[in-house]
Amino acid sequence: MGRVSTKNAGIRVGSEKAMRALGERLGRLLEPGDFVGLSGELGAGKTVLVRGIAQGAGVPPGEVASPTFAIVYPYRGRIPIFHADLYRVADADELYATGFFDLLGAGGATLVEWIDRVPEAVPPEHLQIRIERTGARTRRIALEAAGERHEGLARALAAEALSGPRTRGPLEERPSAGRLGSGPRTRGPLEERPSAGRLGSGKPAAKTPPRGRKKR
């Protein structure tokens, strides 16, 4: 099988809530034996995504933490989840000494943050997720998969993310209430109201005498 990649198009998320929701979608698809590697700079949102994945796989939300000092945390959900963080691992030999590679055949799904620090940890069949910061809250996510099972995961995740409702980021401009199709415009408290006279003139209208009576 070939490799599946969404590097060119990418998935864009506009908030932490959207990142977690994307993870939940993936978590609902995971099965034992799946391997998901995550990479991206500090603060990109890897742990947020992992929390969503774990929650989607049935792990109680409060149990998921960043396992920087423990290297690997196991979670029990719909399936076993092994969450690893390689930030402090120097190389493959050090990782091997932790027993990490034994997890790959332990009957659960494996989620690995900072997978790019130890590329040797990536098995032949895998899904890799690269998170790129594009703004204060916005992120671009690239998927790359190898193996039929993980290619299917990448396609399903990308299709669902791109076809679902778009989540607008908190810094994106909302359409004005006065634009076409939006209904009556609500005027702000500091905006000038047009006077009762000629539109925009600021002058009062001349009084028209009642019909049937002569003006004196």
State residue 164's pLDDT score.
Answer: 54
Please give the pLDDT value at position 202.
43
Range of the domain at 32: 3-163
Mean pLDDT across 178-202: 40
54 in a structural domain: yes
User: What pLDDT, on a 0 to 100 scale, did the predictor assign at position 6?
Assistant: 56
- pLDDT tens per residue, range 145-180: 999 999 999 999 988 776 654 444 443 334 334 433
Res 67: pLDDT: 59
- Mean of all residue pLDDT scores within the chain: 78
pTM, 2 dp = 0.71
Compute and round to an integer the Cα radius of gyration of the chain: 28
Determine phi and psi for 202, rounding to 5 degrees.
75, 5
pLDDT at 142 over 90: yes
Share of the chain above pLDDT 90, in %: 54
Number of domains in the chain: 1
Higher pLDDT, 176 or 137: 137
What is the distance of C-alpha 134 from the center of its chain? 12
Residue 114 forms part of a structural domain: yes
Look at residue 212 and tell me if it is in a domain: no
**49: domain CATH number?**
3.40.50.300
Q: Is residue 179 part of a domain?
A: no
Question: Is residue 213 in a domain?
Answer: no
